[in-house]
Amino acid sequence: MSKQTINLNVNGQSVSAEAEPRELLIHVLREQLKITGPHIGCETTHCGACTVEMDGMSVKACTIFAIQAQGKEITTIEGLGNPDKLHVLQEKFREHHGLQCGYCTPGMITRAHRLLEENPNPTEEEVRFGISGNLCRCTGYQNIVKSVMAAAEELNTTESAS
């Protein structure tokens, strides 16, 4: 089928791309829109490296056709923080060595962001369960969980202070 125009709101900006219906959201984001934060690890819905937020849900962008996301709001790691102003989660991952090679990290943080939106005060077990769709080959998860717990604590303190 011929290409169609796909309009998205990515990280607060209206963007559009021309894509065949069979093109996956991850490919349109990375190859056309040059948003390369979300990675492709497995392309089979297992690793979560491609995780983005779509209308308030964490989704694996390798398992959605871009056309299914027509008109939706997408947030990627680029929309959470940047080198000049890191998101609390990014800050805590840095501080607690929540990454080694960093390949899983954008997906991990994007997922953790939604998890904390829905459950600002998670137990360690809830964090582990909540990020179970994201695989990391390096860290053994220990420091990732620590980082997310630390971010939750920080977010809660700043919130109650303000």
Partner 1 sequence: MITGSFDYHQPGTLQEAVALLAKLGDGARVLAGGHSLIPTMKLRLAMPEHLIDLQAVRELKKIQVTGAEVCIGAMTTQAELIASDELHRAAPIVRETSLQIADPQVRYLGTIGGNVANGDPGNDMPALMQCLDATFVLSGPDGERSVQAREFYEAAYFTARDDLEILTEIRFAATSGGYAYEKQKRKIGDYATAAAAVLLGKGADGSCEQASIALTNLADTPLYCEAASAQLVENGLTEPSVDAAVASAMSQIDPVDDNRGPAEFKRHVAAIILRRAIQQAWARA
Ligand X SMILES: Cc1cc2nc3c(=O)[nH]c(=O)nc-3n(C[C@H](O)[C@H](O)[C@H](O)COP(=O)(O)OP(=O)(O)OC[C@H]3O[C@@H](n4cnc5c(N)ncnc54)[C@H](O)[C@@H]3O)c2cc1C
Q: Which residues bind ligand X (CB under 6 A)?
A: 45-46
Tell me which H or E stretch contains 161. helix 142-161
Tokens of 21: 């219906």
- Going residue by residue from 52 to 71, which x/- string records binding to partner 1, judged by CB under 8 A? -----xxxx--xxx-xx---
By the rule CB under 6 A, 103 interacts with ligand FES: yes
Q: Within positions 43 to 62, which residues make up the interface with ligand FES, using CB under 6 A?
A: 43, 45-50, 60, 62
Nearer to partner 1, 99 or 131 (CB): 131
* Contact partner, 57, from ligand FES, ligand X, partner 1, none, Cβ < 5-8 Å per class: partner 1
What is the C-alpha to C-alpha distance for residues 57 and 65, in angstroms, rounded to an integer?
Answer: 16
Strands (E) in the chain, as ranges, are 4-10, 13-19, 51-54, 57-60, 73-75
Interacting stretch for partner 1, rule CB under 8 A, among 7-15, 18-26, 78-86, 89-97?
Answer: 18-26
Given a contact cutoff of 8 angstroms between Cβ atoms, the answer to whether 4 and 18 are in contact is yes
Given a contact cutoff of 8 angstroms between Cβ atoms, the answer to whether 7 and 71 are in contact is yes
Q: How far is the CB of 45 from ligand X (least distance, A)?
A: 4
Nearer to partner 1, 31 or 82 (CB): 31
Sheet containing 57-60: which strands, arranged edge to edge?
13-19, 4-10, 73-75, 51-54, 57-60
DSSP labels for 14-26? EEEEEE-TT-BHH
Which residues would be at the binding site for ligand FES (CB under 6 A)?
40-43, 45-50, 60, 62, 99-104, 136-139
Instruction: Point out which residues bind partner 1 (CB under 8 A).
Output: 1, 4, 20-22, 24, 43-46, 48, 51, 57-60, 63-65, 67-68, 111, 115, 129-133
